[in-house]
A and B are shown apart, each in its own frame.
Chain A
Amino acid sequence: MIIKGFFSALIALAVLVQPTSADETCMSPYMAKIVGQEDYVYIWTLGLEGVGNGEDKLVTVDVNPDSETYAQVIHSISMGGRHEAHHSGLTDDRRYLWASGLDTSKIFIFDVHTDPAAPKLHRTIDDFVEKTGGVVGPHTNYALPGRMLITGLSNNRDHGGRTGMAEYTNGGDFITSVWMPTDDNLQGAEKSGNFADGYGYDARALPRRNVLVTSSFTGWNNYMMNLGKMMGDAEAMKRFGNTVVIWDLHTRKPKKVLDVPGAPLEIRCAWGSRSNYCFTTTALTSKVWLIYEDEAGEWQAKAVADIGDASKIPLPVDISISADDNHLWINTWNDGLTRLYDISDPFAPTQIMEEQIGEQVNMVSQSWDGERLYYTSSLLANWDKTTASEGNDLQYFKLYKWDGKTMTPEFNLDFVELGLGAPHQMRFGAHALYGGMTAQSPSGLITAPPAH
């Protein structure tokens, strides 16, 4: 069923849901949420040479256990080549899924509302670099009201890490772009530490504090380079982001550049009405960082926990915060572990469990109720492992059931065996979002973003 009146519905349900982790809680606060059984997972998949047709794909998997095609790939669209498929994101009304390519800088907009079981390509943005004045590598596709915010990773002048962000209408028309603040041009921002590198990666909004937070990774020269070669190149290893930037969300002006050394990646902000903080993890230094507003109203950054043994380069990648702000899932790509941290004291996170997911693990997405954990394996085409040790899966899409204590494998799809490629970002779909009720979605409950 659909809960009539999206807006109050969520608020009522948000009180009822179990305090568990949820990918839906990691998405834009402006977006309607699926709080019941999701019907589909859309997987933005990197093409691999020699695997199927070798092209990037948007793969749809039926994940509703009441469906006759449960745990099967039911749809796939090939993108006419390889674009370094990486991240994807839904518009605030969830009618369109934006999926971008880090190499070709193309953005593919899929209609997921006409038939949620069979997304179709609606529009392709192939002039992102030109429109943005040189931003390369569209990464995060993040919903703002009636528009999409796209973070970049690189630029077309030196293909290094200096980059910017762009905004598009939900229909795919370019609005504006802004470059990240640098030592050369702080754009009015305060440089609070040693760095103002101008790098970019992820973005998250805290509307009630009028804050946008961005992180920083590395440029095209590095993310398209063979991992082993790059790790042995001392100069290349210097070209990683060391900053988190605090922006005025309303004006899109940078306010403060914070030092967060070691390539801070995903950003997840707390949901509590007085929880004015976000987490990020650093890929190279393997730490959990807290980005927080202090009692004086100043935004600060503090390293608050280690993730594994940094000397072994576990490489933390995707993270997921719980709806009650008490837990944080952290995947470490290099050792294939998913780790659960107790973050009830945000200044002192503690790892409380870990589980081997595969030879490598990148993304984690959860259902709203926290009972279903989906995992994919791929990081980047030239960084992914090519062989797996005995008993470990290499390129997969997996579902685990989670009861708060134990993870139980539910299904495992081998994306190489299926001729699909290397699976990356996952996003959920449901018939009930669009008023369609089918036997496959008897319990789809849809709601809207909570008010803070």
Chain B
Amino acid sequence: MVLAPGYAPLSFTAPEPGSYALPAMGSAADGAVIDSEGNSAKLHDFLGDKPTVLSFIFTTCDDVNGCPLATYVMRSVQDALRADPATADKARLVSFSFDPVFDTPDVIDAYGSQFRAGDFDWQFLTTEGATTLDPILNAYGQWVIRDYDENGEYMGTMSHILRVFLIDESRQIRNIYSTSFLHADTVANDVRSLLMEATAATSADTGS
């Protein structure tokens, strides 16, 4: 088993935050979700007020280079941002389940409690079912193949391509990461780049 690069030290020096552009890749879609306390909400409730890293996962995923990689990297991003008071409360992580059958609010709450550090803004979301989930997955290009046995019975497992999104305060997608491109150092610096961008915009607005 060869682990994805996100599990190892970055094999190059991550570009300096603010030294590069992250062009907008389109609007982040909305949809009906349920938070880890069981409250109905909109996905946009969790996007737009600060830079957000959004990953699509399911808690029973056993592919070490799939969902566990996403959560591992997001925890490392959390650690990096928490370590600096200037960024500790300036960004959000969202882990969004695409298995509404198993990943009930209680399940994602328990899952999230394993990874969330302190009061860091890391949200865990699920949906009521395929009716609300599928339009969101389609809008984000997060396609999933549900695995069925020879009798056509759902096996409770899925094949999917890993997608993690960086979304800015205007709800614009600014980067997309996949297995070979997902590393905490670069993701954290992308978040810092968006924060610097927002600070620069604020300074320009106020003339300071």
Residue of A9, A170, A210, A248 ringed by the most chain B CB atoms within 10 A? A210
**Mask: chain A, 117-160; 1 = CB below 8 Å from B; 0 = not:** 00000000000000000000000000011110000000000000
- Complex interface residues of chain A between 402 and 452 (CB less than 8 A to chain B): 434-435, 448-452
Say if the beta carbon of A12 comes within 8 Å of chain B.
yes
Q: Does B143 contact A (CB under 8 A)?
A: yes
16 sampled A-B residue pairs with Cβ under 8 A: A2-B159, A4-B63, A4-B158, A7-B66, A14-B2, A92-B161, A92-B178, A146-B141, A171-B26, A176-B23, A207-B5, A210-B15, A248-B20, A434-B145, A435-B159, A451-B3
Contact in complex: A251, B179 (CB < 8 Å): no
A209 and B11 in contact, given A145-B176, A451-B4 (Cβ under 8 angstroms):
yes
Contacts of A8 in B (CB 8 A): 1, 63-66
How many Å from the CB of A255 to the closest CB on chain B? 11
Q: Chain A: interface residue count, which band? A: 35 or more
- Least distance between B71 CB and chain A CB atoms (Å): 14
| Total B residues in contact with A, Cβ cutoff 8 Å | 42
Is A11 engaged at the interface, CB distance under 8 Å to the other chain? Answer: yes
- Say yes or no for A302: interface residue by CB 8 A criterion: no
The residue that B147 contacts in the complex, of A4, A170, A451, with Cβ under 8 A, is A4
Whether B160 sits at the interface, judged by CB under 8 Å, is: yes
A208 touches B186 (CB 8 A): no
Q: Given A5-B66, A11-B1, check contact A207 B180 (CB 8 Å).
A: yes
B24 at the interface (CB under 8 A from A): yes
Query: Are A450 and B178 neighbours in the complex by a CB distance under 8 Å?
Result: no
Question: Is the CB–CB distance between A207 and B181 below 8 Å?
Answer: yes
Task: Tell me if A145 and B25 are in contact (CB < 8 A).
Answer: no
Interface of A, helix, strand, loop or mixed by DSSP:
loop
Q: Is B199 an interface residue (CB 8 A)?
A: no
Chain B hits for A14, CB < 8 A: 2
Q: Which residues of B contact A (CB under 8 A)?
A: 1-5, 11-12, 14-15, 19-21, 23-26, 61-66, 69, 141, 143, 145-147, 157-163, 176-181, 186
Name B141's contact: one of A170, A250, A251 (CB within 8 Å).
A170
Q: Are A7 and B20 in contact (CB under 8 A)?
A: no
Q: Which of A7, A11, A171 contacts B162 (CB 8 A)?
A: A7
Interface residue A59 (Cβ < 8 Å from any Cβ of B): no
Distance of B148 from chain A, by nearest CB (Å): 9
Question: Which residues of the partner chain B approach A173 to less than 8 Å between Cβ atoms?
Answer: 25-26
Chain B residues contacting A169 (CB-CB under 8 Å) are 25-26
- Which residues on the B side are within 8 Å of A147 (C-beta)? 25, 176
A388 at the interface (CB under 8 A from B): no
What A residues does B5 contact at CB under 8 A? 207-208, 451-452
The 7 closest A-B pairs by CB, nearest first: A5-B63, A146-B176, A7-B65, A251-B20, A435-B145, A451-B4, A145-B178
Please state if B69 and A12 are interface contacts (CB–CB under 8 Å): no
Q: Is the CB of B15 within 8 A of A448?
A: no
Question: Knowing A8-B63, A175-B24, A253-B20 touch, does A449 contact B143 (C-beta < 8 A)?
Answer: no
Given contacts A29-B180, A207-B181, contact A7 B12 (CB under 8 A): no
B153 to chain A, nearest CB (A): 15
Q: Are A146 and B178 in contact (CB-based, < 8 A)?
A: yes
Most buried by B among A30, A251, A451: A451
Nearest-neighbor residue (CB-CB) of A12 within chain B: B1
* Contact (Cβ within 8 A) A209 B12: yes
Q: Are B161 and A448 in contact (CB under 8 A)?
A: yes
